[in-house]
Structure 1
Amino acid sequence: MEVLNGLGHGLLEKPYENALVVELGLKNILVNQQSRYDLMYKGVQVGEYIPDLITHGKLVVETKVVERITNHELGQMMNYLKITGLKVGLILNFKHSKLEWKRIVC
């Protein structure tokens, strides 16, 4: 992946997120960064979710810098998909020199 090759591995998550926005923009891919979604409980807002990126209004992209993608990250993405009403998510892990990724479909 171009972003990982350009920045290297093991930084904090935010530089990867920002670099992805640049890279996707250069490829004319529509991307929204840090969109806000209300988390509702019985009709009352109890929080909000701010996904890293949403591309084409259809794909939630989350950047991670963790040892490996576990059930915790997968469960978190499932919740994000439920909150946003979207069906597909992508977790990108920039911890190591080889990009780890998982695609989640609801």
Structure 2
Amino acid sequence: MEINDITGLILDRSVMIHRELGPGLLESVYQRILAYELRKAGLKVDKEVPIPVSWDGRIIDESFRADLIVESKVLVELKSIEKTAPVHRKQVITYLKLTGLPVGLLINFGAPLLKEDFHRIANDAPNLKP
């Protein structure tokens, strides 16, 4: 499946979930339901994936976690807050650089309308993955 197809399916399922549940729940609720829906659609979904930080040929930290990685191609970072800030985009960009994945989605289930706080972020930086 192509990246655009994957991101389109993620957006479709996210909108469906948001319409059904609305904003205001914990991020973990949306994460579990979105992972379930994507798996039901036949996609490979990994949750809470450790993102290592490497330096000098060694892993020096593994405290970062991607909420979801779909089909080993798309990183998904979920929020359930009033509005995302530039730091949340920077978080996705950092994760993309460290993993080498081509695209990330920042989805805020706390927004009144999901499309108002949904961001597709391309990895246009050098790959930092060892």
Q: What corresponds to 1:53 in structure 2? A: 68
Amino acid in structure 2 at the alignment position of 1:52 = D
Query: SS at the partner of 2:95?
Result: helix
Instruction: Decide which of 117, 121, 125 is 1:104's aligned counterpart.
Output: 121
**Aligned residues: CA RMSD:** 1.3
| Matched residue, 2:10 | none
Matched, 1:95 2:95: no
Structure possessing the higher relative contact order (Cα contacts under 8 Å, 6 or more residues apart):
1
Query: Which runs of at least 4 in structure 1 moved beyond 6 Å after TM superposition?
Result: none
Deviations 1:23-50 (A, max 9, x none): 1112112211122232112223221122
Offset at residue 96 of structure 1 (A): 2.5
Distance in 2 of aligned mates of 1:10 and 1:41: 39
What is the aligned partner in structure 1 of residue 94 from structure 2?
79
Aligned length: 106
SS in 1 for 2:59: strand
Letter in 1 for 2:101: L
Q: Is the 8 A contact 1:4 1:97 kept in 2?
A: no
> 1:19 deviation in Å?
0.6
Give 2:28's aligned residue. Answer: 14
SS of match in other structure, 1:68? coil
TM-score computed with the length of structure 2 as normaliser: 0.75
Runs of at least 5 residues in structure 1 that lack an aligned partner in the other structure = none
Is the Cα contact below 8 Å between 2:51 and 2:95 reproduced in 1? no
Alpha-carbon contact 2:103-2:122 (below 8 Å) kept: yes
C-alpha separation between the residues in 2 aligned to 1:30 and 1:74?
Answer: 24
Which residue of 24, 33, 37 corresponds with 2:47? Answer: 33
Q: As a proportion of its length, which structure holds more helix? A: 2
Structure 2, unaligned runs of 5 or more: 1-14, 124-130
TM-score (normalised: structure 1): 0.91
